[in-house]
Amino acid sequence: MKNSNIQKPVVLVIAGHDPSGGAGIQADIESIANAGCHAATVITSLTAQNTNQVIETLPQEPDSFRKQIKLVIEDMKIASCKIGMIGSIKLIDVIKEELSKLNIPIVLDPVLSSTSGQTFTNKEMCEDILSSLFPLTTLATPNSEEAKLLSQATDLNSAAKSLLKHGTQAVLITGTHEATDNVTNSLYTENDAPIEFHWERLPETFHGSGCTLSSRIAALLALGNNLNTAVEEAQAYTWNTLKHGLKLGHAQSQPDRFYEK
């Protein structure tokens, strides 16, 4: 048994489940475990999906969902939290109320649709995410399309400024969907100039890259890294999981979160 002082930090994950194992809590569990942390996962919505399509989203009832979060946070010391796909407006208030009790870094990946095009979030949910969850958020990690949709802005600088006004301490906008040769991700904070990160664009499309990135950042924050280091190292890890991606189904590839094995 390890000395109780050197236990692994626990990252609370609040996200959807994807049976194919590319995205959702499985992506989070693997990305967090690979970083040397332990994930505790509360599922917002079950889904029926494969590497090609999402055909059904089944959100949990708020009462069961709350019970599951409460049991975990009353039992374990939580070091950080990652929020992913939510799937139902009823769950947003529960998340807000339960996370307000904890004073921990929160990474919010506002998953508005799947890479294959399924929409998870309507306008009312977007507004509720902004008003209820952004004020609790340390870092939001929208892709460029999600950033524009959430902020109603047409360019990324304006989108980032608008999202920061809703209370998140920082915004990392990922640029995979932009028509650029390389992928540019940009980290925005209130007072500093944006920091740009450039990554070689890979030819495939992937199922679960955003989940992998955001949960890795949450794990690196749980381990005590500052935000800039966590954001930079998590991108490098995620890029490697994509570079070594697996083609396990007929459509999108999956990140290999244990590419060393």
55 vs 190 by CB, closer to its own copies: 55
Minimum Å distance from CB 65 to its own copies?
9
Minimum Å distance from CB 211 to its own copies?
13
Site for its own copies contains 52 (CB under 8 A): yes
Site for its own copies contains 83 (CB under 8 A): no
β-bridge pairing 38-49 and 54-59:
antiparallel
Report the DSSP beta bridge partners of residue 187.
172, 195
Site for its own copies contains 33 (CB under 8 A): yes
| Contacting residues for 96 by C-beta, under 8 A, at least 6 apart | 132, 133, 136
Site for its own copies contains 200 (CB under 8 A): no
Minimum Å distance from CB 73 to its own copies?
9
Helix-then-strand count for the chain, H and E? 8, 9
26 vs 132 by CB, closer to its own copies: 26
Q: Are 106 and 136 in contact (CB under 8 A)?
A: yes
Q: Are 25 and 16 in contact (CB under 8 A)?
A: yes
Question: CA–CA separation, 219 vs 202, rounded Å?
Answer: 25
Site for its own copies contains 159 (CB under 8 A): no
Site for its own copies contains 236 (CB under 8 A): no
Question: CA–CA separation, 102 vs 88, rounded Å?
Answer: 22
| Of positions 16, 21, 87, 210, contacts its own copies by CB under 8 A | 21
| Of positions 15, 23, 29, 83, contacts its own copies by CB under 8 A | 29
DSSP-H helix ranges across the chain? 24-34, 62-75, 89-99, 123-128, 144-151, 156-165, 209-222, 227-243
Question: CA–CA separation, 49 vs 41, rounded Å?
Answer: 19
| Of positions 15, 20, 83, 159, contacts its own copies by CB under 8 A | 20
Question: CA–CA separation, 129 vs 147, rounded Å?
Answer: 12
Minimum Å distance from CB 212 to its own copies?
13
Site for its own copies contains 58 (CB under 8 A): yes
Which residues lie near its own copies (CB under 8 A)? Answer: 1-2, 4, 7-8, 10, 17, 19-21, 25-26, 29-30, 33-34, 36, 38-43, 46-52, 55-56, 58, 60, 64, 67-69, 71-72, 74-77, 202-204, 243-251, 253-254, 256-258, 261
